[in-house]
Amino acid sequence: MEVITAKGPVSASNLGLTNSHIHLVAMPPAWLYKTPTFSNDPDYALTDVDKAVQELKYFLKSGGKTAVDATCRDYGRNPKAIKYVVEKISEANLILVTGFNRGIYLDKWYYETSIDKLAEFFSNEVEEDIEGTGLKAGLIKIGADYMRILPIEKKCIKAAANAHLSTGAPILVHTTLGTMALEILEILEKEGIDPANVIFYHVDRNLDPWYWEQVLERGSYITLDQIGKIKYGPESKRIEFLVEIVRRGYENQLLLGTDFARRSDFKSYGGGPGLGYLFEKFLPFAKKVFKSEGIEENIVEKFVLHNPSKAFSIKK
């Protein structure tokens, strides 16, 4: 089993402790700054490459080895900046993504390009390189709006499905507030995709065991990626929820991540909790709760070691 990192394939057994959802460098599309949510908020501009390097150092110090940088082209990825970071930090594996994030971010190129050409573009970023940098994408990201899938999203999902079938790179799914996961799976299954090759993001904005079970029983993975975002809920609630999902028999399909995407989330920018948090603080806390609930505490390690290495392997 191999995983394609930015620098190329590595054995899945060498991933080490993995954070399955991060962002290091991103400059969201200019128009977003004109919307009320973003309203010229510089907090969203992750543009300092040296701070990204520093943050990865905190990550390595916490025991981390591999991280998925899920920044897509439409959310303002910067391949040259990522290349700088990758070259500075050779000890960490970064897994990069191709594909797209959400319909509302897409520029006219996605509307004007055919499904076949989009699929070719996504495949090329996995098999050849990302915008002339020599870096590769290891995952194909797709996404949908809140409670609906936009027509442009359907088109790009089909292109991503084709790219998955030709490259074997697993599919990452952005859900908005944890909705539309089942509807997205339905489209992917019609395109011939095995749900076991699909990893969902943000479903923990919707901590509903009944909903999670419907996704997990199809064989897909879910990343609990709102860890460290206390504004969305306490960690104890997330961990108790994990206990419940493990009791329902899905310990082999859970991943963990910290979807920090603002300057104020990072220590290097003077904020917090930063990329060291997952392994330094959350993991020990989760183990403690698992133990007190009478569940083998080492199951928590599966979420950051064994499960990501399986989920992110090329399926060929």
**Residue 70 in the binding site for Zn ion (CB under 5 A):** yes
Q: Which stretch binds Zn ion (CB under 5 A): 66-74, 141-149, 153-161, 302-310?
A: 66-74
Q: Which stretch binds Zn ion (CB under 5 A): 118-126, 145-153, 155-163, 254-262?
A: 254-262
Q: Which is nearer to Zn ion, 145 or 251 (CB)?
A: 145
Return the residue of 259, 299, 310, 314 that touches Zn ion, per CB under 5 A. 259
Beta strands in 36-157 (DSSP E): 66-69, 93-99, 137-143
User: In residues, how long is the chain?
Assistant: 316
CB of 176 to Zn ion, least distance (A): 11
Q: Which is nearer to Zn ion, 89 or 173 (CB)?
A: 173
Total residues at interface with Zn ion (CB under 5 A) = 2
CB of 194 to Zn ion, least distance (A): 24
Distance in angstroms (rounded) separating the CA atoms of residues 206 and 226:
11
* Under 8 Å between Cβ of 139 and 312: yes
Residues with Cβ within 8 Å of residue 142, at least 6 apart in sequence: 99, 100, 153, 156, 157, 160, 171, 172, 173, 174, 184
Q: Which is nearer to Zn ion, 28 or 276 (CB)?
A: 28
Q: Which is nearer to Zn ion, 74 or 259 (CB)?
A: 259
Q: State the DSSP string of 193-228.
A: --GGGEEEESGGGS--HHHHHHHHTTT-EEEE-BTT
CB of 5 to Zn ion, least distance (A): 18
Q: Residue 207: which of 253, 243, 170, 257 has the closest Cα?
A: 243
**Residue 74 in the binding site for Zn ion (CB under 5 A):** no
Binding site for Zn ion (CB under 5 A): 70, 259
